[in-house]
Amino acid sequence: MAAGRDLFGLSAHAKARLIEKLAPAAGRLAAGVPRRPRVEASLETGRLDVRQLDGWRDVHMIEEAADYLGIADPFFRVHDGVAAAETPIDGRFYLNFASYNYLGLNGDPRITAAAKAAIDRYGTSVSASRPVSGERPIHRDLECALARLHGAEDSITLVGGHATNVTVIGHLLGRHDLIVHDALIHNSIAQGALLSGARRVPFRHLDAAAADRALAEARARHANALLVIEGHYSMDGDVPDLAAFVAVARRHRAWLMVDDAHALGVLGPRGFGSADHAGIDPNEVDIWMGTLSKSLVSCGGYIAGRKDLIAYLKRTAPGFVFSVGMAPAAAAAALAAIDILEREPERVRRLNQRARLFLELARAKGLEVGGSIGAAIVPVITGSSIAAGRLAEALFRRGINVQPILYPAVAERAARLRFFLTAEHSEEQVRKAVEIVVEEARAVAAEPADLAAVARHLAGLSARPG
């Protein structure tokens, strides 16, 4: 990962641009203070010093700005128990909208029993990569179940969802190839594309015609082509016209890959994901990707598709061949969750009912919810990163746990709070939450931040020596 990255998921330079956008005077004053030169090591100790990395001062500038505005750090809060519709934080229960526990299965006794049984039989680790000596029956059982959900011939499971996209895309494509992807694609897909060395061409969000034009322009000059979309976008809660993208991929002899991480357990009458929702043959999609950490309340990632693809990945994908096999408890938990998903489709219906209720109430109250379809994910767009941070803080004081998404993760005008609904949220909880959001959003709007004061505060910090 690049230097200066990973604080709150944003780079230090990105945070500096955020401050410059919110308070231009602060940006100009701070820019007038020369940076310390990068050095190989501390002269005193002979060791590398993280404080010499580009962006260190910018990181602290953001922290100081938030502190000055009275915005507490909303990240890395310690939950003292199961994060469900409610979650315990620091001895208090909060109404929770910051969890991917869509079907409400986290902590289900049937799943914890399956995980415990797997530990009793196999231990806590398989202790090696699966090709070497880490293969267990539970791995194949899970892969067969995942393939069944996606109507695929087979699947492969890996220990991390992000790593699945990185290693598979990075391995399948090369420098003579082409990757065409939605402009709002997940970071893991972008990182996999960078690793591959293939030419990357983004297209406007959800625009199949734009993807068609991109492939028409570039396809002939490349050996292989991959068209990548998500089945349910976690930032906006919207979905693509899957049939249209299938047609585009076929027209240009491109593989179609769909990341269904936030679609499985959410979309379709059975909760089987994008194909179930769109009513198309799932075999029209060449590569299904998903994660086990959301509706399946475990940890890991997977690829589903044709047998020859899966066999190839099992022999050659670096993130599989050179990584330890999935922990037995994680595999068993996901497998038990699949069984419940198949047996209890009412969970999917209840989830979507709650999400649609939240969406409809929010819209009726004048909140900006973007293009969400009301299937587990509903953003509340504030139009300002400071407003998003202040609103999240106000809601936390009122007993609601929800996370802000700030520029440059989204455009500044699209800064937001993301509400993740679960099948375990009650109608009363949803109605209560929307009422509180409306009240606090009005209060935040009525007391805009004094950006000039923020600028003076940051300028004073920047002028300090050292």
- Bridge partner list, 288: 258, 304
Which are the contacts of 295, defined by CB distance < 8 A and separation ≥ 6?
100, 102, 103, 105, 264, 265, 266, 271, 337, 341
Give the 3-state secondary structure of residue 371.
coil
Can you read off the two tokens belonging to residue 312? 């190839």
Residue 365 buriedness (CB in 10 A; 0-12 / 13-18 / 19+): middle
Segment (H or E) for 188 = helix 187-196
Torsion of CA 220, 224, 225, 230, to 10 degrees: 180
Give the 3-state secondary structure of residue 16.
helix
Is 432 a known active-site residue?
Answer: no
Which of 150, 222, 252, 262 is an active site residue? 262
- Bridge partner list, 258: 229, 288
Do 87 and 96 touch, CB atoms closer than 8 A? yes
Give the 3-state secondary structure of residue 87.
strand
Is 234 a known active-site residue?
Answer: yes
Is 323 a known active-site residue?
Answer: no
Which of 155, 234, 274, 298 is an active site residue? 234
Neighbours of 410 (CB within 10 A): 19
The secondary structure of residue 154, as a DSSP letter, is E
Which of 294, 323, 425, 457 is an active site residue? 294
Q: Which residues are catalytic?
A: 234, 262, 294
